[in-house]
Amino acid sequence: MKRVMLEVAYDGTKYSGWQIQQNSETVAGVLTKELKRLLGEDILLIGASRTDAGVHAMGNICVFDTESEIPGEKFCYALNHSLPEDIVIQRSCEVPSDFHPRKIKCKKTYEYRIWNADHIQPFNRKYTYFVYKKLDVEKMKEAMGYITGTHDFTAFCSIHTVIPDHVRTIYEAEVFKEGDLITFRITGNGFLYNMVRIIAGTLVQVGLGEKKPESIKDILASEDRSNAGPTAPARGLMLMRIDYSNENK
């Protein structure tokens, strides 16, 4: 028996998130089905990040155990022949049998993308949040600065979050603009349910002048979800990478 890790990229547009659900097509569901077909074994897929419906990924991580003699690095080629075009295995390899993608310390990086122009571009509509009112990027950058560090993010997570510990550390948080595209990039040791999307929705309010940049401090201190902004649409969110490098362990 060996444990294999997959690095998965996917367009989440048509999927009901990562996690397997009854009566809904999910990314993990499609992968599990293809692995069972390829290997003729029952497969339990363990994912690092349970992305929501409509959220995309460049580098989500998952593992599974198998008795197959296929080398770990060959699974990406074996699977990509049969997976739908909106799911691609970027990399595969064998890992230690005790490697668990949610129990090992890591850094996760997300990006949230906003198309800020008079009109949406058709080829961006699935991957950006369209905001036609002009956003003040400098104020958004200032607000993002208050996100970095270790905080209780209760105000920036869904009221349906069930885990008791809402403290997370954000190592880097930045906002940058390229043409009509505004991108928020945030790296942390973990994220709560809807956390990045709520931060994005709050920063949009700052950009529109509805909130002041320094209000982020008060929102964090309040630990009250009602003080933060709306949850921005899922289509603008992408999980960029998960880093398990040695300095994070």
Give residue-wise pLDDT tens across range 162-220.
Answer: 888 999 999 999 999 999 999 999 999 999 999 999 999 999 999 999 999 999 999 99
Task: Given the residues 11, 42, 52, 180, select the one marked as catalytic.
Answer: 52
> For residue 13, is it within any domain?
yes
| Domain shared by 159 and 138, yes or no | yes
> For residue 101, is it within any domain?
no
* Reported pTM: 0.93
Q: Which own/partner contact pairs does 188-191 have at CB distance under 8 Å and 24+ positions apart?
A: 188/107, 188/108, 189/105, 189/106, 189/107, 189/108, 190/108, 191/108, 191/110
* Enclosing H/E stretch for 203: helix 195-207
144, amino acid identity: M
| Domain shared by 86 and 162, yes or no | no
Residue 18 belongs to domain spanning: 2-95
Q: Which of 46, 63, 95 is the last residue of a domain?
A: 95
CA separation for the pair 142, 163 (Å, rounded) = 30
Q: Say whether 180 is catalytic.
A: no
| Domain shared by 171 and 226, yes or no | yes
Q: What is the CATH number of the domain that holds 160?
A: 3.30.70.660
Our count of domains for the chain comes to 2
The residue ranges of the chain whose pLDDT is under 50 are 247-249
